[in-house]
Structure 1
């Protein structure tokens, strides 16, 4: 995935960590709501620390929109947020639009030599949520999903929403801090149980990290690197 083609708007301002060898795979990562600009650069820095030489890492910026949870103030967000609990109302149109934008980037990469089955979607918080929704509704087979400190958007529409997906056997690495005050680990555990009704349960790994809040840690990033190496082996 590259960040310089204006025909795919999200790529125009993406932070890209290029591979040091021929790029044969891509990881598309996104930060979380609110602190999106910092999270994008933070995610890019984290990807640099665990980078594989043949993998391209792309971290696009979310658009700036009014967010209900932030008193309708305009801020970077992939879709509107009304609340952060399993029963909160959701921005269905915004979620679906954001997912289609991600799928357009996957198509763009395929045209430039990296097929969908060599692409992992991943992200933290809202970015991880969007990664899960996009993968589970995508008609192209992907290599995997990394979902950190997040949830499954529009969870009540699944498993029906995944009826046309090519990713019912997709490997998923889901990680969560057990002291997360923003998205409680119980929400993460509920998400994991829901995911087991959508994808092959044995392909889902759910890890929790003691004492970790709404953040990441070296042990988690080590697990992410191991997952990427396994799902995107060198060709």
Structure 2
């Protein structure tokens, strides 16, 4: 199992500088199980504003219980995708700690927390949601695609983020991997924790993105990270 020290493979991270040469905002986007930072970097590059830099890190390769112990890039072990199934609590918390470190690195580089978007797809989206809720400062926004809120029973006690942190959830209603009901249940819980949480549903969409979803993400970024 990866530890906090080796959980990010720096050589596989994909980083993009601001297109206009002066970064005043940032997006950190976390890939899904078995993918790498390269899997989403081109898309993030397309939809980010010119003043926004991005970081698409790659998870360490670890054994994953759900995939019969085969090793693959994974932010934490996944033991089940059933409601109420066993979760890798220690791994999730350790991964969130590392994501907090990424956010802090952006802040030290001069980007304020309220101009940082944190997002992810599938397992990466799950980690983004948990990391944002357990981070003490208000982020510009959180984007969770085809995902769920891990360790949901630990909330509201585990929540330390401001109530004003905005969240966008996007989920296809025909997702065969992460069931749409996970998106619905996560949305219901997040609405009780935060002031601004929305769930965008895409009819007929499986475990993937779509042009409409990408447009909705772009709109969310532009709404919550104005030019500066």
Q: TM-score range by the shorter chain?
A: over 0.9
Question: For residues 210 and 157 of structure 1, what CA distance do their matches in structure 2 show?
Answer: 31
Question: For residues 145 and 56 of structure 1, what CA distance do their matches in structure 2 show?
Answer: 16
Provide, for residues 119-151 of structure 1, a one-character-per-residue CA deviation record: whole Å limited to 9, x for no partner: 110010000000000000101221110000000
Structure 2 equivalent of residue 167 of structure 1: 162
Q: Give the structure-2-normalised TM-score.
A: 0.93
Task: Give the alignment partner of residue 96 of structure 1, picking from 93, 96, 105.
Answer: 93
Structure 1 equivalent of residue 215 of structure 2: 222
Provide, for residues 98-137 of structure 1, a one-character-per-residue CA deviation record: whole Å limited to 9, x for no partner: 0000111111111111121111100100000000000001
Give the C-alpha shift of residue 47 in structure 1. Answer: 1.0
Q: Give the structure-1-normalised TM-score.
A: 0.91
Give the C-alpha shift of residue 166 in structure 1. Answer: 2.8
Give the C-alpha shift of residue 191 in structure 1. Answer: 0.8
Task: Give the alignment partner of residue 158 of structure 1, picking from 137, 155, 159.
Answer: 155
Structure 1 equivalent of residue 175 of structure 2: 180
Give the C-alpha shift of residue 24 in structure 1. Answer: 0.4
Give the C-alpha shift of residue 61 in structure 1. Answer: 0.1
Q: Which runs of 4+ in 1 moved over 2 A?
A: 6-13
Could you say if the C-alpha distance between residues 75 and 137 of structure 1 is closer, same or farther in structure 2, counting changes exceeding 3 Å? same
* Two-structure CA RMSD over aligned residues (Å): 1.7
Gap runs ≥5 in structure 1: 1-5
Question: For residues 192 and 161 of structure 1, what CA distance do their matches in structure 2 show?
Answer: 17
Gap runs ≥5 in structure 2: none
Question: For residues 66 and 11 of structure 1, what CA distance do their matches in structure 2 show?
Answer: 19
